[in-house]
């Protein structure tokens, strides 16, 4: 599992490392790594390094210091480096001196457009982990005119380091070179960060338990239930699906199909769409009534069941079964409107709620807001349930405070019925006995993998997503080990 640390925790760790490291050493490590990546980026983009033009946008803190030192390193490789100082009086003094000594050019904001226009790469050293709020007008004006790809130092400026939220002008980077450890912005603002590489500056031993987690393919491969020699269709966990209606059977077909593909074993369906579900998925044992559904190890309830009294009774019945439940869509609305349905639940029985922003508002009385991690944590506490907050990035919070983030591969999942597919995946994993937080996080990850495979650059459908689940699981099992963040070894001097 990849750890992610908030800026407060990063600062604490940096403080400890500072105390035992020679002055300036951490910045040297960071900026050398940055320069290495900038050279690689230039070579890849332009076919070479020497003679290429790099413009550094330099703010008032150490983030600008990193950019200046990296510029000095690049001068050794005959790169033409121009630094634009946004606050000349506050620019990192030693970094600036190093760049000047190495033959770098330093220009004012007013004189910078001619250099920015000719740049092969622009480096965003405006703000790093101390950044607050959007880009200030001077920086925003410069960024507006940048045509070259941008490499962000630590994180794209103008994006909140801890929430990934934007509230005004910000930098959109092609590549982000970060230091020490991933921060929330890297998981929560993928569109602004672009590709992300991590430079090891020796911080890891000083960091404690991560604040957030991201599942890696190896985790998925380890977690995903694979039948053994002693298994039969029952031992792997039977999942029950209570979804859809006679008028709207689609949700039932999608959630059931997703469950069929997620694990081996068995899927039961109970509800008014039994005939349609049976017709589409002959392997499903389907019945019209929840009361004669048979035994299951977990229930999926909600998609398309409606929010009326019938849906309410189905939900109440299921919550009283004493097995893990994934309550989605209409079930979340019912819980919001009739919280007493939860009285049927044994509080120790796992419950996963999967609201999108609108359903979240019904559950919590307010929209999730900019801090989606906090929003998910608050709901998880309030409902003593795992809460999976949907959106471009999906945040999965457990009542004990654990949070996982799923960073999507594009936005193809924003298609009708896609949530039904996710629910089926989570339900299957719950039935297999996974910890509910891991089940939700792993379900979300495979969901987005399936989305990327199904879409392959063009829009897909929820049915296409269902069909892509086997491919996604094959990819997980074949390529386990790819973490999504490349860690480079730091050359010594």
* Binding residues for K ion (CB under 5 A): 124, 152-153, 157
392 contact, one of ligand ADP, K ion, ligand NAX, none, CB 5-8 Å limit per kind: ligand ADP
Nearer to ligand ADP, 13 or 196 (CB): 196
391 contact, one of ligand NAX, K ion, ligand ADP, none, CB 5-8 Å limit per kind: ligand ADP
Nearer to K ion, 124 or 328 (CB): 124
> Is 95 marked as binding a ligand?
no
Residues 319 and 248: their CA atoms lie apart, in Å, by 23
* Contact by Cβ (8 Å): 109, 142: yes
**Pairing assessment for the beta strands 403-406 and 394-397 based on DSSP bridges:** antiparallel
Residues 361 and 226: their CA atoms lie apart, in Å, by 37
Nearer to ligand ADP, 353 or 413 (CB): 413
In 10 A of CB 420, how many CB atoms?
Answer: 29
- DSSP state letter for 177: E
34's CB contacts (< 8 A; 6+ apart) are 66, 67, 69, 70, 153, 177, 199
124 contact, one of ligand ADP, K ion, ligand NAX, none, CB 5-8 Å limit per kind: K ion
* Contact by Cβ (8 Å): 395, 355: no
Interacting residue with ligand NAX among 49, 57, 80, 127 (CB under 6 A): 127
Interacting residue with ligand NAX among 27, 151, 239, 284 (CB under 6 A): 27
User: Where does this chain bind ligand ADP (CB under 6 A)?
Assistant: 329, 356, 390-392, 394, 408, 411, 413-414, 416-420, 422, 447
Nearer to ligand ADP, 77 or 356 (CB): 356
Point out the residue whose Cβ comes nearest to ligand ADP: 419
Nearer to ligand NAX, 37 or 377 (CB): 37
Q: Tell me: does residue 95 bind ligand NAX (CB under 6 A).
A: no
Q: Scanning the structure block, which residue is given the tokens 């130092």?
A: 153
In 10 A of CB 108, how many CB atoms?
Answer: 10
132 contact, one of K ion, ligand NAX, ligand ADP, none, CB 5-8 Å limit per kind: ligand NAX
Residues 109 and 145: their CA atoms lie apart, in Å, by 12
Q: Is the dihedral of CA 428, 278, 450, 226 positive or negative?
A: positive
61 contact, one of K ion, ligand ADP, ligand NAX, none, CB 5-8 Å limit per kind: ligand NAX
> Is 129 marked as binding a ligand?
yes
Nearer to ligand NAX, 63 or 354 (CB): 63
* Contact by Cβ (8 Å): 165, 149: no
Residues 107 and 84: their CA atoms lie apart, in Å, by 5
* Contact by Cβ (8 Å): 4, 407: no
Enumerate binding residues for ligand NAX (CB under 6 A): 14, 26-27, 30, 59-64, 66, 127-133, 135-136, 153-154, 179, 201
Specify binding-site residues for (6S)-NADPHX: 62-66, 128-134, 154, 251, 304, 356, 420
């Amino acid at each position: 599992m990849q750890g992610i640390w908030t800026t407060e925790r990063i600062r604490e760790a940096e403080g400890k490392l500072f105390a035992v490291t020679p002055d300036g050493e951490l910045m040297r490590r960071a900026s050398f790594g940055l320069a290495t990546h900038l050279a690689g980026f230039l070579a890849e983009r332009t076919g070479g390094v020497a003679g290429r033009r790099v413009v550094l946008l330099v703010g008032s803190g150490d983030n600008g210091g990193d950019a200046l030192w990296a510029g000095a390193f690049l001068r050794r490789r005959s790169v033409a480096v121009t630094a634009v100082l946004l606050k000349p009086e506050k620019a990192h003094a030693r970094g600036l001196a190093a760049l000047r000594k190495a033959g770098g050019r330093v220009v004012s904001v007013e004189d910078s457009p001619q250099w920015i226009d000719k740049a092969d790469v622009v480096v965003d050293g405006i703000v790093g982990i101390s950044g607050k709020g959007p880009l200030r007008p001077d920086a925003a004006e410069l960024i507006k005119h940048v045509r070259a790809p941008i490499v962000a130092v630590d994180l794209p400026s103008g994006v909140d380091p801890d929430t990934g939220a934007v509230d005004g002008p910000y930098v959109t980077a092609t590549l982000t070179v970060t230091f020490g450890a991933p921060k929330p912005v890297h998981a929560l603002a993928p569109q602004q960060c672009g590709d992300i590489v991590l430079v090891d500056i020796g911080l890891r031993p000083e960091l404690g338990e991560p604040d957030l987690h991201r599942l890696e393919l190896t985790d998925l491969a380890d977690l995903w239930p694979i039948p053994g020699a002693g298994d039969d269709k029952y031992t792997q966990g039977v999942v029950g699906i209570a979804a859809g209606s006679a008028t709207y059977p689609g949700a039932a077909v999608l959630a059931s199909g997703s469950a069929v593909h997620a694990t081996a074993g068995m899927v039961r369906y109970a509800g008014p769409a039994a005939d349609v579900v049976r017709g589409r998925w002959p392997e499903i044992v389907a019945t019209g009534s929840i009361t004669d559904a048979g035994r299951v190890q977990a229930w999926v309830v909600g998609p398309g069941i409606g929010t009326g009294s019938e849906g309410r009774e189905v939900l109440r019945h299921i919550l009283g079964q004493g097995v893990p439940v994934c309550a989605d869509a209409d079930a979340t609305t019912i819980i919001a409107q009739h919280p007493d349905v939860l009285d049927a639940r044994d509080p120790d029985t796992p419950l996963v709620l999967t609201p999108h922003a609108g359903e979240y508002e019904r559950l919590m009385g307010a929209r999730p807001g900019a801090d989606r991690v906090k929003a998910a944590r608050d709901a998880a506490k309030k409902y003593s349930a795992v809460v999976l907050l949907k959106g471009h990035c999906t945040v999965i919070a457990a009542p004990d405070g654990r949070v996982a983030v799923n960073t999507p591969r594009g936005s193809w999942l924003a298609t009708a019925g896609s949530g039904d597919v996710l629910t089926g995946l989570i339900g299957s994993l719950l039935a297999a006995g996974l910890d509910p937080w891991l089940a939700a996080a792993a379900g979300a990850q495979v969901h987005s993998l399936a989305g990327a495979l199904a879409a392959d650059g063009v829009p897909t459908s929820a049915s296409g997503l269902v069909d892509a689940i086997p491919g996604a699981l094959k990819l997980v099992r074949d390529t386990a080990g790819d973490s999504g963040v490349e860690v480079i070894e730091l050359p010594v001097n």
